[in-house]
Amino acid sequence: MTNRVGLWIDRKTAVIVALDDKRASITRLESGVRRLGYRGAPRSRTTYSAKYGQGDNQLHQQYLHHLDKYYKQVASRLRGASNILIFGPGEAKSDLKKHLTRQKAGDRVVNVETADKMTERQILAKVRKHFQ
């Protein structure tokens, strides 16, 4: 069982680093989600008002549905972890933490940090340093 997991995440890609006593494994997940062009709609997760139109609301709901599927897929890879470090740019890290909290796994998250784009080697080094 993996005790420590570090996760770099944005809305397109998740890089999961699982540390055991003897080795580290890296898994990359692609969301397949792409940002759709809305006609003047806000970029938040709030429900759109009628002034943005029915079509934009449906596009936004589809986008949120795809993101939720992505977060479920990522969360399923974190099941065996007792300590989870989440980092990355944007809102995906806090959205995933909220998802984990709803799934009663939020207490395993030890830290949520902001980080820029990183290579897999940089992600691995950051996770090792954090759990040292």
pLDDT digits (tens, 9 = 90+) for 3-34: 899 999 999 999 999 998 788 999 999 998 87
Tell me which residue has tokens 């207490």. 107
Q: Which residues does 2 contact at the CB level (< 8 Å), separation at least 6? A: 18, 19, 20, 80, 81
| pTM passes above 0.75 | yes
Residue 104 has pLDDT above 50, yes or no: yes
Query: Where does the chain have alpha helices with state H?
Result: 54-77, 92-102, 120-130
